[in-house]
Amino acid sequence: MQPESESTKTTKNSLQSDHDASKADGETQERALAEARRAEAMHHSLLEVMPGGVVHVSADGAILYANQEARRMLGYSYDELTKRYTVDWSPATIREDGTPFPIEEYPVSRALATGQTQPPATIGVQRPDGKLFWAVFRATPVRDPGDGQVAGAMVTFLDVTNEKESLLELRRQEGALSNLIKNFPHYLVRYRADGEIVFVNQVAAGMQLDDVIGASIYDFHPPAEHAEVRARLERVIATGEPAEYENTIIVGERRMHFRNVVWRTEQQGEVQLASIATDITRLQELNESLEFQATHDSLTMLANRFQFEREAGRAIESARRSGCAHALLYMDLDQFKIVNDTCGHIAGDRLLKQLAGELSLGLPENGVIARLGGDEFGVILLDTNSEDAVQQAQALRTLIEQFRFAFEGHSFRIGVSIGIAMIDEHNLVFDEVLKDADFACFAAKDSGRNQVHLFRPDDDRLNDRRGEMLSVSELSEALDAEDAFQLYFQKIVPLGSPEPGIRFELLLRLMGPDGKARNTGAMIAAAERYDLMGRIDRWVVRNALGWLEAHPRLSEGIDFLTINLSGKSLGDERFQSYCRRFFAEVSVPFRKLRFEITETAAVANPGQTLKFINELRRLGIRFALDDFGSGLASFGYLRNLPIDLLKIDGSFVRRIHQDRIDHSMVQSIHSLASSMKIKTVAEFVENEEILTMLKEIGIDYAQGYWLHEPEPLQALA
């Protein structure tokens, strides 16, 4: 073998060297590639754990990569997401105002189109599950290192759903609060310490002022009240304590009543005042109306008995405190009944209204007048002596004597009997003063009517009259006694075909020392005057039902019996409670009972009356309306009262054979009652002629002395 030449050696060495170099380059590239892969993996790992979403998009909008947070927020898996293009993005996207967010306006779309980094945009994206999430999106273009062209874009976004929902809820609450304040049905006002108005809600702005903002709260108050208003505001500012008060303001020509609360507040460092005012104008007017109705007579518009007692109480307190003297006048019209008997109660009511107007005009400045009853009036003369009181009473008597009343061709003159009692250090009890004036009025009538009489304790004639009257102590003793009261009965006779059973009204009698019944009218008048009717009604109910329970066989033959109840008892909760307890203890046929209530009582308090009637009707008790036509003659109340029996007032019945108006009234009442399927009873039947006419009219039942004089209830047994 020949030795290698130098050139051959050189060639071999060169090839070996190239091989070694190539091998080294390959290893370097592999190491670089591995390093790049490790860097990419690390980059992806970092992106995967980033708190926000990251999406890599190619130049044509293909999604190349999306990190874990992006997939979670968008609601897609990696494979689902990397197969999409932004240009055909299907989920609904919306702006903050709720309008659609077009694809071409996405930050990524604009970054790819313009090659510029886009500002953040808040977008609402609907996930595949239908839920909406909100995110702030940013997009930055990615350029090719070689030629600098846009090769794609990196999109980053942060989930702000919670923040967005909180903000939306806050805005909703702010809107609701703003709407509440705007439409709050009270007056909301804010003003500076000097009174300048800086804010009003919609209700307050609707007060029809040219410019509420900038006006002063003092513009709504009369000058006389400015000092009081200013002092109140200064006190609220100084103490920080809210103030509550009521006031009246003038808005244009309107007088408005408000209940207010004012408190101190601050606006941008300035101390201001805020107030909320409730318009109580309607309530105030309603209260005034109710107060007027409660204190005034509905027919004459004069003060009623309740208000008269209040005025008398003030006069008595004044006399007790200062020693001054006042006078109480008790006035009872003479010949008033002639008007009712001649022309009916409509004429009587009209007379009373006209006379009330005349008395109001003729009343002295120091006088207070009230209607106490049907044709009875009361007057209190303040700061007067007995001589002046008599003189002023004579002036009122003359005024009434000169009064003329004309009605349907008739002309009437009436008079008045006036009793006077002084309110002074010797007499400071209202009941005693009223009783003394009442006695004096009786004395004036005994003197021939149309007279004035002054009560004097040493007046023999008044003392004699006093002996005939019932006192509160006598009535109280009678109620406590066993046999002072007795029940009588008067038959109620059917006028048509015979009916089985008997019918009667129970009547109460107070027995005198001689065993004879005393004057019933005096007893009732005294009981009403001394507020004892409730006790009397309880006595009647207790003894009437006790009699029924003690005579079960006799009660079987009774069709019905009627028991009178006073108007005061109807509205007395104590009486109603007594009835509930007592009725639960007795065993009687309640269906045979008819409680008689007067028309005037029903009209005076229809709501309470109806409640009481319905409660007792559930037990089987029925009701009769007594003395119908004697009061306001309001037929409309029959529609609302569940009445089974209508008793026509005797003032119409006793003259139907002599007065065509009374005959027509009875006929009309019966016709109306029949149409409502209510039976009628005619009271005060005193002769055959009246009875015949009642039968012709078709009245169902009749009652009166000509048919049956009352007898003690024991006679039935």
- Which tens digits make up the pLDDT trace of 341-397? 678 778 888 999 999 999 999 888 889 999 988 889 999 999 999 999 999 999 999
Q: Give the neighbor-by-neighbor strand order of the sheet with 493-494.
A: 493-494, 701-702, 679-682, 645-648, 622-628, 593-598, 558-564, 502-510, 485-491, 711-712
HEC assignment per residue over 250-296: EECCEEEEEEEEEEEEEECCEEEEEEEEEECHHHHHHHHHHHHHHHE
- Determine the pLDDT at residue 585: 92
Contacts of 85 (CB under 8 A, 6+ apart): 60, 61, 62, 63
Inter-CA distances, 51 with 157, 158, 160, 526, Å: 9, 8, 12, 97
- Determine the pLDDT at residue 388: 93
* Residue (of 564, 558, 570) closest to 540 by Cα position: 564
CATH no. for 473-716: 3.20.20.450
One-letter amino acid at 600 equals T
Pick the range with the lowest mean pLDDT from 123-137, 192-206, 573-587: 192-206
> What span, in angstroms and rounded, lies between the C-alpha atoms of 575 and 543?
15
Cβ proximity of 506 and 489 under 8 Å: yes
The label of the residue with tokens 């009445």 reads: 643
- Domain 184-285: top CATH class: alpha beta
- Determine the pLDDT at residue 473: 67
DSSP 536-553: HHHHHHHHHHHHHHH-HH
Q: Which own/partner contact pairs does 83-89 have at CB distance under 8 Å and 24+ positions apart?
A: 85/60, 85/61, 86/57, 86/61, 87/61
Quick check: 634 pLDDT over 80? no
- Determine the pLDDT at residue 622: 93
Cβ proximity of 169 and 248 under 8 Å: no
Residue 633, token pair as written in the block: 């003659």
Burial class (CB in 10 A: 0-12, 13-18, 19+), 87: middle
- Determine the pLDDT at residue 631: 47
> What span, in angstroms and rounded, lies between the C-alpha atoms of 279 and 257?
6
- Beta bridge partners of residue 503, listed in sequence order: 560
The pLDDT of 409-422, averaged and rounded, is 88
pLDDT tens figures, 26-68? 666 677 666 656 656 666 666 676 778 888 999 988 998 888 8
Burial class (CB in 10 A: 0-12, 13-18, 19+), 230: middle
* Count of helices and strands (H, E) across the chain: 26, 28
Cβ proximity of 303 and 293 under 8 Å: no
> What span, in angstroms and rounded, lies between the C-alpha atoms of 607 and 625?
15
- Determine the pLDDT at residue 1: 47
Quick check: 485 pLDDT over 50? yes
CATH no. for 50-157: 3.30.450.20
The pLDDT of 452-471, averaged and rounded, is 69
Quick check: 472 pLDDT over 90? no
Indicate the SS3 state at residue 323. Answer: coil
One-letter amino acid at 113 equals A
Q: How confident is the prediction for the chain on average, in pLDDT?
A: 82
Inter-CA distances, 600 with 307, 375, 505, Å: 19, 14, 20
Residue 360, token pair as written in the block: 């109001």
* Residue (of 625, 551, 620, 624) closest to 592 by Cα position: 620
User: Which residue would you say has higher pLDDT here, 249 or 596?
Assistant: 596
Q: What's the whole-model pTM score?
A: 0.43
- Determine the pLDDT at residue 206: 56
Pick the range with the lowest mean pLDDT from 162-171, 462-471, 555-564: 462-471
- Determine the pLDDT at residue 209: 45
Answer whether 302-469 and 473-716 agree in fold.
Answer: no
Quick check: 521 pLDDT over 80? no
Q: 302-469: which CATH number, 3.40.50.300, 3.30.70.270, 1.20.120.1200, 1.10.3720.10?
A: 3.30.70.270
Cβ proximity of 420 and 385 under 8 Å: no
Contacts of 548 (CB under 8 A, 6+ apart): 555, 588, 589, 592
Pick the range with the lowest mean pLDDT from 96-100, 108-112, 201-205, 632-636: 632-636
Range among 83-87, 144-148, 472-476, 506-510 with highest mean pLDDT value: 506-510
Inter-CA distances, 459 with 385, 434, 454, 682, Å: 18, 17, 9, 44
Helix (H) or strand (E) holding 249: strand 243-251
Domain ranges within the chain, ordered by starting residue: 1-46, 50-157, 184-285, 302-469, 473-716
The pLDDT of 4-18, averaged and rounded, is 59
pLDDT tens figures, 305-320? 899 999 999 999 999 9
- Determine the pLDDT at residue 699: 95
> What span, in angstroms and rounded, lies between the C-alpha atoms of 374 and 597?
17
Indicate the SS3 state at residue 653. Answer: helix
**What end-to-end distance do the CA atoms of the chain give, in Å?**
176
**Predicted confidence band of residue 646 (pLDDT cuts 50, 70, 90):** very high
One-letter amino acid at 94 equals I
> What span, in angstroms and rounded, lies between the C-alpha atoms of 67 and 47?
6
The label of the residue with tokens 């009997």 reads: 417
Cβ proximity of 243 and 235 under 8 Å: yes
Contacts of 524 (CB under 8 A, 6+ apart): 533
> What span, in angstroms and rounded, lies between the C-alpha atoms of 287 and 284?
5
DSSP 42-60: HHHHHHHH-SSEEEEEETT
Range among 364-368, 651-655, 681-685 with highest mean pLDDT value: 681-685
* Residue (of 617, 630, 669) closest to 646 by Cα position: 669
